[in-house]
Amino acid sequence: MLSNNGVKALAKSLFINNTLIMIDLSNNSVGIEGIIKVAEGIKKNKGLNRLYLCNCYLANNNIGEEGAQILSQAIVLNSNLKILSLCFNKKGIVVSMIMQSNIYLKLLNQVKVLNV
């Protein structure tokens, strides 16, 4: 399992590897600093089309509304994202993230597979 620092380090690969099409951070402890770095990478990496954040303890690491909003905004800005998986996270955080108006519209128009 990656720590928050490990997730931050891995997220940096999104900045330099534009051929990366999938990142799976499932079953890792993604804290607020990690989710911020992942979000920044999602915005920059236009090749990324699949994001898996299953069982990442999103609520247990103080991600909360702030983290949900940061990740939502990044997802909206990545026009290639087709698969988003947030399963096995605390539903309140996931629902909060999805119901952000911009991400909801994006999910309706762009994401082909949503797994919550």
User: pLDDT by residue (tens digit) across 3-36?
Assistant: 778 888 888 888 888 888 998 888 877 778 888 8
Report the pLDDT value the prediction gives residue 85, as an integer from 0 to 100: 82
The span from the CA of 22 to the CA of 20, in Å, is 6
Report the pLDDT value the prediction gives residue 40, as an integer from 0 to 100: 92
Provide the whole-model pTM.
Answer: 0.76
User: pLDDT by residue (tens digit) across 69-113?
Assistant: 788 888 888 888 888 887 776 666 666 666 665 666 666 666 666
pLDDT top residue among 86 and 48: 48
Report the pLDDT value the prediction gives residue 17, as an integer from 0 to 100: 87
pLDDT top residue among 12 and 64: 12
Side-chain-facing half-sphere of 13: CA atoms under 13 Å: 12
The span from the CA of 96 to the CA of 8, in Å, is 23
CATH class of 4-115: alpha beta
Among the listed residues 6, 14, 10, 4, the one whose alpha carbon sits nearest the alpha carbon of residue 74: 14
Asked whether the beta carbons of 23 and 53 are under 8 A apart, the reply is no
Parse the chain into domains and list their residue ranges.
Answer: 4-115
CA 7 vs CA 32, 42, 70: distances in Å: 10, 13, 16
